[in-house]
Structure 1
Amino acid sequence: MPYTAAENRYETMPYRRLGRSGLKLPAISLGLWQNFGGKDVFETGRSILRRAFDRGVTHFDLANNYGPPAGSAEENFGRWMAADFRPYRDELIISSKAGYDMWPGPYGNFGSRKYLVASCDQSLKRMGLDMLDIFYHHRPDPETPLEETMGALDHIVRSGRALYVGISSYSPELTRAAHAILSAQGTPFVIHQPSYSMLNRWVEDGLLDTLGGLGLGCIAFSPLAQGFLTTKYLQGVPGDSRAAKAGSFKSDYLSDDNIARIAALNAIAERRGQSLAQMAIAWVLRDPRVTSALIGARTVEQLDNSLDSLNRMDFTSEELAEIDRFATDGGVDLWRAQSRIQPS
């Protein structure tokens, strides 16, 4: 059956300005890192995207290596775009990234001009798009000069491949250096995508201040700490969970200390009338410097649960103080080390 978007799709979603740019993002955006690749159920992913747009989610975030296999999330998105979302293209913000290992040989990784431009072209082809709204450098490169990487982002905009550019997992120092280069070139650099959650608060140690000072937006990925900030692990490891599979979720995340933190935070959420996941998303968005929380979803029901966090966004000072007792570093950040890389 042909898809027609809900007429009331803009009635409940708040939209936040991206730093000092002219762009706004929904308070909650949908990422296609997991659950939308070639090994997943195509129609399930399609239903999630339809439901997201019907509820006002206008930003879909991808990367060249999302899948698995790598590239397949963009390929699937291209099919969904052609079948369902082509009439709504001008209502959508579509982003992609490059910076991780994508193809063999010396030109398929990190931050060279050759890799970034080629990867952007491949992403556009997979998705059947003429232009991306945002193109990111996915992580700092320890070898390529920052001037070359930022120059590649500038070229991607000037050549018509993207409207805006961003970076991900850059430290405050590297963010300021990147901003200086891009500002001098007149490049529309508008956004930083760091990991941020109640168990991974590194952005509060200078990065949010940096972004606020520079007028850059922030979209927080992994606000649920890869699903850890839910109740699914309080009674052990479910067989279909990310922790039960090889990948980015490490078994040592499930320490007794972390489980105790999760149980305490869950009790606070229950008193607020929210699920733990809903409170975790609302908590990330409590800071006005965070433009959007980037969530994933395995089912339509899971998506709805996350979006319902918007029903209770307020926190009392007493609640925030209690959350701070338990919202401490849980060692669940795989990306912080990337942020400290200093290009030669």
Structure 2
Amino acid sequence: MTYLANDQRYGTMKYNRTGRSGLKLPAISLGLWHNFGSIDPYENGRAIARRAFDLGITHFDLANNYGPTPGSAEENFGRLLAGDFKPYRDELVISTKAGYYMWEGPYGEWGSRKYLVSSLDQSLKRMGLDYVDIFYHHRPDPDTPLEETMMALDHIVRSGKALYVGISNYRAEQAAEAIRILKELGTPLLIHQPRYSMFDRWVEDALLDVLEENGVGSIAFSPLEQGLLTNKYLGGIPQDSRAAGASVFLNEGSITPERIAKVRKLNDLAQERGQSLAQMALAWVLRGGRVTSVLIGASKVSQIDDNVATVNNLDFSEAELKRIEEILRG
């Protein structure tokens, strides 16, 4: 059955300008890090992506190694593009990345020009695209000169394989230097993708200031701390959760009694605001307009509906913000 997008899809989503660029991103974007790989049911991922677009999520974020298996998220998204989203390509912002390990040998990871250009060529083939909207360097490379990496990003834009470029996981000083180099090359840095949540606030030390001063946007990944900032763990660790599995980012050791106590207090505040804890956590990252968009993951369609409803209440009173700070410090 032919997919027809909801004709009211732009009615409720909020769109934010990305830094000083002309590109707007939805406040809520969908990341395909988990649940879209070869080990996952394709029809479930398809239903999630379609529902996201029907609710105004125009930005889909991938990387070369997303799966598992590596590359399979891009392959599945390519199927989705060919089967459902092809008529809507110009309404979509599609991003991918390279930087982590992808193939054997000395050219299969990090930040050399050889790796970045080859990886994007492979990503475009997997997705059946001529170009992506945003191409990211996924992590800083301690050995490759930053000039080489940024020149590769500049080359990729000039070759027509990406409209914009971004960086991810760069610290403030590294980001400032990347911004400077790209500006001199004539391909301004569009966006930075850092990890940011109520429990992981390193970006507040200096990075957000650097981005704001230079007109660079930001999109936060793991804003729900891999599910910890939801109601999932209020009653213990579910057997089907990431914490019960082999996740390197969230495990049973991350879910301490002290953290759960804070989560319960935050959940109480969210209920007072008429929100789920996840909605409040996403709204908190977006507070004040310093973050352009938040990346959510989803394993079922209902999570898309819940997360998108965040845009109905993005404002916090000073008393609420103070209470959140007290909870997090406690």
Distance 1:92 1:328 in 2: 39
1:250 is matched with 251
Describe how 1:1-344 pairs up with structure 2 within 5 A: 1-248=1-248, 249-328=250-329
Tell me which stretches of 4 or more aligned residues in structure 1 moved more than 3 Å.
none
Deviation at 1:311, TM superposition (A): 1.4
Residue segments in structure 1 that go unaligned for 5+ positions in a row: 330-344
Letter in 1 for 2:320: E
CA distance in 2, matches of 1:324, 1:123: 41
The 8 Å contact of residues 116 and 152 in structure 1, kept in 2 or not, is answered as yes
Secondary structure at the residue paired with 1:8?
Answer: coil
Tell me the CA shift for residue 159 of structure 1.
1.0
Aligned partners of 2:326, 2:73: CA distance in 1, in Å?
38
Question: In structure 1, what residue type is equivalent to 2:172?
Answer: P
AA aligned to 1:311 is N
Query: Which TM-score applies when normalising by structure 2?
Result: 0.98
Question: What's the CA shift string for 1:290-336, capped at 9, x where partnerless?
Answer: 1001101110001111111111111110000000112359xxxxxxx
Amino acid at match of 1:318: A
Counterpart amino acid of residue 193 in structure 1:
Q
Q: Distance in 2 between matches of 1:75 and 1:190?
A: 26
CA deviation digits over 1:13-53, x for unaligned, max 9?
11100000010000100000011111111001001111111
Measured after TM superposition, the shift of residue 237 of structure 1 is: 1.0
Deviation per CA, 1:90-143: give whole Å up to 9, x if none: 010000000001111111111011111110000000000000000000010111
RMSD: 1.0
* Contact persistence 2:242–2:251 (CA under 8 A): no
Aligned equivalents of 1:10, 1:327: Cα separation in 2: 35
Of the structure 1 ranges 90-99 and 231-240, higher mean CA displacement relative to structure 2 is found in 231-240
8 Å Cα contact 2:38/2:72 also seen in 1: yes
Aligned to 1:179, the other structure's residue is in SS state helix
CA contact (8 A) 2:29 2:58 kept: yes
Instruction: Please give the TM-score of this superposition, normalised by the length of structure 1.
Output: 0.94
How far residue 12 of structure 1 moved from its aligned partner, in angstroms, is 0.5
Contact kept in structure 2, 1:200 and 1:328, CA below 8 Å: no
**Sequence identity percentage:** 65
- The AA in structure 1 aligned to 2:268 is A
Cα distance in 1 for residues equivalent to 2:262 and 2:206? 24
SS at match of 2:287: coil
In 2, Cα distance between equivalents of 1:36 and 1:327:
33
Q: Read off the aligned partner of 1:260 and give its amino acid letter.
A: A
Whole-angstrom distance in 2 between the partners of 1:259 and 1:301: 24
2:179–2:188 contact (8 Å) kept in structure 1: no
CA contact (8 A) 1:61 1:95 kept: yes
